[in-house]
């Protein structure tokens, strides 16, 4: 199954502790590691997509954007071993052409070194926005003079290009009940869970509870 998470609440977690927002992102990155390792070792989960940086996040103060870019670069360098040990394939969705050469190189190295793994595909959404993804897909179809059909649009989405199926379960942390331009097309039939827990406090135990609850839900895909 494909589990998707909108990791929200890093800033509020830090503020409540009297810390800078960047400390929240640092702690958030540690949670990413725990959750990824858990999913890699859970037979039911094959895809884990994480909203790490949206097309709207550029609006944040420059120091926070710079910090997130640096954190990502360091994280990919440091956590390559985690990917290798847990047999996790690393993938990216979103338009990373705006990222620095250094970061793009790091992303490509991580993808290349992990591309043969099949236990889990971890998908980071980077400079990702669903409307942007759909627009890019339709533009490509027009440029190639292909027919605009549901099937063709689907085929040109970033997820399909990287063989990532639609979402089964979407979780958002921090109490906000919205999807914020994340995988709008791919969540058409996803089950959704919203928890008040701030992302830095999210645990594998809570994830286990949510999965148990998800398994009890009856999914009808529009049928009866």
Backbone angles phi, psi at 90, to 5 degrees: -105, 130
d(CA 126, CA 65): 12
The span from the CA of 206 to the CA of 120, in Å, is 20
Position 169 contacts ligand FPP (CB under 6 A): no
Cross-strand pairs, 3: 48, 169
The residue among 71 and 134 lying less far from ligand FPP, judged by its C-beta, is: 71
Residue 194, CA distances (Å) to 1, 12, 34, 134, 177 in order: 18, 17, 20, 25, 6
Nearer to ligand FPP, 72 or 167 (CB): 72
Size of the site for ligand FPP (CB under 6 A): 18
Q: Which listed residue (20, 46, 57, 181) is catalytic?
A: 57
Q: Which one of the spans 2-10, 40-48, 104-112, 155-163 is the region binding ligand FPP (CB under 6 A)? A: 2-10
Q: Does 12 bind ligand FPP (CB under 6 A)?
A: yes
Site string for ligand FPP, 17-36 (x = CB under 6 A): --------x--xx--x----
Q: What is the spatial distance between Cα 148 and Cα 63, in angstroms, rounded to a whole number?
A: 41
Please report, as ranges, the residues that interact with ligand FPP according to CB under 6 A. 7-12, 25, 28-29, 32, 52, 57, 71-72, 75, 124, 174, 199
Catalytic residues: 8, 57
């Amino acid at each position: 199954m494909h589990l998707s998470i909108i990791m929200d609440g890093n800033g509020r977690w830090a503020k409540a502790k009297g810390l800078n927002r960047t400390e929240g992102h640092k702690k958030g990155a540690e949670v990413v590691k725990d959750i990824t390792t858990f999913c890699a070792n859970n037979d039911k989960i094959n895809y884990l997509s994480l909203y790490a940086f949206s097309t709207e996040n550029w609006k944040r103060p420059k120091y926070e954007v710079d910090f997130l870019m640096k954190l990502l670069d360091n994280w990919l360098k440091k956590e390559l071993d985690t990917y290798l040990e847990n047999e996790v394939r690393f993938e990216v969705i979103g338009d990373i052409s705006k990222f620095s050469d250094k970061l793009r190189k790091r992303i490509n190295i991580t993808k290349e070194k992990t591309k043969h793994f099949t236990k889990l595909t971890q998908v980071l959404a980077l400079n990702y926005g669903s409307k942007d993804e759909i627009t890019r897909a339709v533009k490509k179809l027009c440029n190639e003079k292909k027919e605009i059909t549901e099937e063709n649009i689907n085929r040109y989405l970033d997820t399909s290009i990287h063989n990532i199926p639609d979402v089964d379960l979407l979780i958002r942390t921090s109490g906000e009940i919205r999807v914020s331009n994340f995988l709008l097309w791919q969540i058409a039939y996803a089950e959704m869970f919203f928890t008040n827990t701030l992302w830095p406090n999210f645990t594998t135990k809570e994830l286990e509870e949510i999965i148990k609850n998800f398994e009890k839900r009856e999914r009808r895909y529009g049928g009866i």
